[in-house]
Structure 1
Amino acid sequence: MALTREEREQFLAEPHIAALAVDAGEGRAPLTVPIWYQYAPGGDIWIHTGKGSRKHELIAKAGRFTLMVDRIEPTIRYVSVEGPVTSTVPATSAHLTEIASRYLPPEKVDGYVEFAEANHGEAVIITVRPERWVSSDLGNV
């Protein structure tokens, strides 16, 4: 059963780990990797990734990507969203703190941000505008 717009936006706004998929070029399957993301209903989605990483370069070349999130409890549900990249900007400490706060317990955020800033190198924020949605709730199959 397809989700309503409100249901799919609310589900996407929850802190799920997404599978990001982006065209990897001729003769290759799409690059598909797990990723943290940030989203509020009705808005755009953004991800935080390493500047110059393979993911960053493939997204820049393709100009769009897909995120898919799912769960198996309390019901089997998924949302897949795809759209064009609308901006790529340098990541700030505030971005990193915001996304880490979405996924980590409060007492772990500062340590993670400190570690990431010291060890992960420069990062970018890539924003995508949701354009196409596929969603379903299969209930308790």
Structure 2
Amino acid sequence: MALTREEREAFLAEPHIAALAVDAGPGRAPLAVPIWYWYEPGGDVWIMTGRESRKYALISAAGRFTLMVERVEPTVRYVSVEGPVVNTAPATLEGLREISARYLPAEKVDGYVDFAWKNHGEQVVVHMRPERWVSSDLGQV
């Protein structure tokens, strides 16, 4: 059964690992990779990625991407959201800390942030405005 707007937005706001998909060009299937993301109901989705990454190059060329999140317990539920890139900006240490704290135990955040800031190269934050949603909870039959 499809989720209501409130249900799908609340589900997307939970800290799932997303599958990001973006057009990879003629003769190629879409690039699909796992990624951390940030979302608050009613707002834009944002991700952080390397400025020199293939992922960022493809997102820049396509001007849009899709995120899909899912769970299997207590019921199979998923939300897929697709939309245009509406803003790109250099990543900040504060943004890295914010998204890291969403996914990591509190005692791991500082160490990860320090390592990532020093070793992952220049990062960018990409904001996507949700335009199209597909959602379902397969346990609601």
- When normalised by structure 1's length, the TM-score is 0.98
Structure 2 portions without partners, runs of 5+ = none
Structure 1 portions without partners, runs of 5+ = none
Q: Is the contact between residue 76 and residue 140 of structure 1 (CA under 8 Å) also seen in structure 2?
A: no
2:104 is equivalent to residue 122 of structure 1: no
- Which position in structure 2 is the counterpart of 1:70? 70
Q: Secondary structure at the match of 1:139?
A: coil
Shift of 1:52: 1.7
Q: Is the contact between residue 67 and residue 81 of structure 1 (CA under 8 Å) also seen in structure 2?
A: yes
Letter in 2 for 1:110: D
- Which position in structure 2 is the counterpart of 1:32? 32
Q: Is the contact between residue 80 and residue 134 of structure 1 (CA under 8 Å) also seen in structure 2?
A: yes
- Which position in structure 2 is the counterpart of 1:99? 99
User: Which aligned pairs between 1:13-92 and structure 2 lie closer than 5 A?
Assistant: 13-92=13-92
Separation (CA, whole Å) in 2 of partners of 1:42 and 1:101 = 21
- The number of aligned residues is 141
Runs of 4+, deviation exceeding 6 Å: none
Shift of 1:118: 1.1
Shift of 1:140: 7.3
Letter in 1 for 2:85: V
> Residue by residue, what CA displacement relative to the aligned partner does 1:76-113 show, whole Å, maximum 9, x if unpaired?
00000000000110000001000000000000000000
Separation (CA, whole Å) in 2 of partners of 1:25 and 1:88 = 21
Q: Secondary structure at the match of 1:42?
A: coil
Separation (CA, whole Å) in 1 of partners of 2:134 and 2:102 = 24
Q: Is the contact between residue 74 and residue 140 of structure 1 (CA under 8 Å) also seen in structure 2?
A: no
Separation (CA, whole Å) in 2 of partners of 1:90 and 1:132 = 26
Q: Secondary structure at the match of 1:15?
A: coil
> Residue by residue, what CA displacement relative to the aligned partner does 1:15-45 show, whole Å, maximum 9, x if unpaired?
0000000000000000000000000001000
Identity among equivalent pairs (%): 75
